[in-house]
Amino acid sequence: MSCRSLKSGPKCKRYSSWRGLATEPPRPTAVVQAAIARGTACANHGAMKTSRVVVITGASAGVGRATVREFARTGAKLGLLARNAEALANAKREVEDLGSRAVAIPTDVADAQAVELAAARVEAELGPIEIWVNVAMVSVFSPVRLMLAEEYRRVTEVTYLGYVFGTQSALKRMLPRNRGVIIQVGSALAYRSIPLQSAYCAAKHAILGFTESLRTELLHDRSRVRVTMLELPAVNTPQFGWVKSRLPNCPQPVPPIYQPEVIARAIEWSSRHKRRELYVGFPAVKAIVAERLSPHVGDLYLARTGYKSQQTSQPDSHHRPDNLWHTVPGDHGAHGAFDSRARAFSIQLWLNLNRRTLLFTTTAAALLMMGARKLIRGWTAGYSSSARS
C-alpha cells in the first residue's frame, strides 16, 4: 500500500475525489468550493477585490496551491511557478473559474535563470509584480548517517536557494519602484530542529538568517519594499505521500496538524498588513518559545518522541516515487491524507490577526466598567446621604 493512499490512522483509504487523483483530475470548481467550505470566510478576509500581481512558487500543490486559491478570491492576477505542468494547468483553471487571470510557468526554483525568466514573463503578461510568495520545498526523511551529499545539496538548492533566487528576482523589480511585498513561508523548524529532517531544518534556518539580513538592508536603505516571514506548524499537504524517506513507516506531519487553507489565509493577510514575522498556530508558538527558554529540554524531548511522531503505523514499502529530483505525475491538490486529523481553524492565529481589535475592545470594555463603577459608587453615596438626612 502506498503512503499516498494512507489514512491518518491505523487503517488506510484513498484520497477523496477532489484531492486530485492522477487518473482523474478534479474539476476546478469543485476544488474551489470545497476549499471555501473549509472556513475561508473568516474574519481576516476583509480584503477588497484587487488586481494585484502575485507570484507564488510551489503553486501546484499543498500550501502553495491553497494560497493560489486564496489570492484568486481577492481578484489578484497570479504567476504560478512549480515543476508539475499538469497541476499548474489545473491551478490556472481554478483561478480563471474565480474570475481572475493566471500564467502557469513550469519552473524548478533551484535554477536561478529559470526563476528570472519566469518573473520576466509574469510581468510581460500580467504587469508589475507586487507580491512574491516563496513556498516551494523538498525534503528527505532520513537519519544524518544515511543521508547522501547530493540529497543535502538538492534540498538546499530548492528549499533555501529557491527562496534566495525568488527574492532576488522580486527585488530586481520592486526596488526601482520602491514598493512590493516578499513573503517567506517558513516553519517553526527554523528555530527548533527535529530529528530525521536535518536537510530541511537547516534550509529553514538559512531562510530565517537570509530574511533577517535582507530586512536590515531594506531598513538601512529606507526602502518601502517589505519582507515578512511566516513560521508554520505541521500542515496536511501531499508532501508526506511523495517525500523521499528511509523511515520504516510512512511519514506524517507531527500532530497537531492544520489544513493548508489556514496557512493560505495567513499568507494573504500578511500581504496586506505590516508584520515582521507571523507565527501560525499554537504548536509553532510553543516550539519557538520553548527553544528560547530551554533548548536542552527540547533536545531530550525530541530524542524521546521525535522519531515516532513523524511516522504512521503503516509500513513504508519504499517503492513509491518521490519528488526530490523529479515531479510526481498527477494533480495532487492542496490536501494530504490526514483530513480526519487536520484542523481547519486556529484560535491562536485568529487572536494574532485580530489583536488590535481585541485590544481596543478590551480597553473600551474596561473603561466602561470603570465608568459604571464610579456611577454606582456616586449613586450609592448619594442614596446613603439622603437616607441619613
User: Which sequence spans correspond to the domains of the chain?
Assistant: 10-353
Model pLDDT, residue 290 = 97
The answer to which of 49-53, 168-172, 326-330 has the lowest mean pLDDT is 49-53
pTM, rounded to two decimals:
0.84
Instruction: For residues 338-367, give the mean pLDDT.
Output: 85
Is residue 26 over pLDDT 60? no
Is residue 266 over pLDDT 90? yes
Model pLDDT, residue 12 = 39
Instruction: For residues 47-62, give the mean pLDDT.
Output: 89
- In CATH terms, the fold of domain 10-353 is Rossmann fold (3.40.50)
SS3 annotation, the chain: CCHHHCCCCCCCCCCCHHHCECCECCCHHHHHHHHHHCCCCCCCCCCCCCCCEEEEECCCCHHHHHHHHHHHHCCCEEEEEECCHHHHHHHHHHHHHCCCCEEEEECCCCCHHHHHHHHHHHHHHHCCCCEEEECCCCCEEECHHHCCHHHHHHHHHHHHHHHHHHHHHHHHHHHHHCCEEEEEECCHHHCCCCCCEHHHHHHHHHHHHHHHHHHHHHHHCCCCEEEEEEECCEECCCHHHHCEECCCEEECCCCCEECHHHHHHHHHHHCCCCCCEEECCHHHHHHHHHHHHCHHHHHHHHHHHCCHHHEEEEECCCCCCCCCCCCCCCCCCCCCCCHHHEECCCHHHHHHHCHHHHHHHHHHHHHHHHHHHHHHHHHHHHHHHHHHC
Is residue 118 over pLDDT 70? yes
Model pLDDT, residue 220 = 98
Model pLDDT, residue 227 = 98
Q: How many residues does the chain have?
A: 389
Residue of 160, 163, 200, 279 with catalytic role: 200
Give me the percent of the chain exceeding a pLDDT of 70.
Answer: 85
Name the residue with higher pLDDT: 364 or 136. Answer: 136
pLDDT tens, position by position, 212-225: 999 999 999 999 99
Model pLDDT, residue 47 = 57
Q: Round the average pLDDT of the chain to a whole number and report it.
A: 89
The answer to which of 14-23, 86-95, 245-254 has the lowest mean pLDDT is 14-23
Give me the percent of the chain exceeding a pLDDT of 90.
Answer: 77
The answer to which of 35-44, 91-100, 318-327, 374-383 has the lowest mean pLDDT is 35-44
Model pLDDT, residue 376 = 77
Model pLDDT, residue 358 = 74
C-alpha closest to that of 115 among 169, 155, 154, 78? 169
The answer to which of 120-129, 178-187, 355-364 has the lowest mean pLDDT is 355-364
Model pLDDT, residue 28 = 43
Name the residue with higher pLDDT: 178 or 8. Answer: 178
Model pLDDT, residue 237 = 98
Is residue 56 over pLDDT 50? yes
Is residue 38 over pLDDT 70? no
- How sure is the predictor about 15, in pLDDT bands with cuts at 50, 70 and 90? very low
Model pLDDT, residue 360 = 67
Instruction: For residues 331-351, give the mean pLDDT.
Output: 96
Instruction: For residues 314-341, give the mean pLDDT.
Output: 96
Residue 15 appears among annotated catalytic residues: no
Model pLDDT, residue 382 = 65
Is residue 20 over pLDDT 80? no
Instruction: For residues 32-47, give the mean pLDDT.
Output: 46
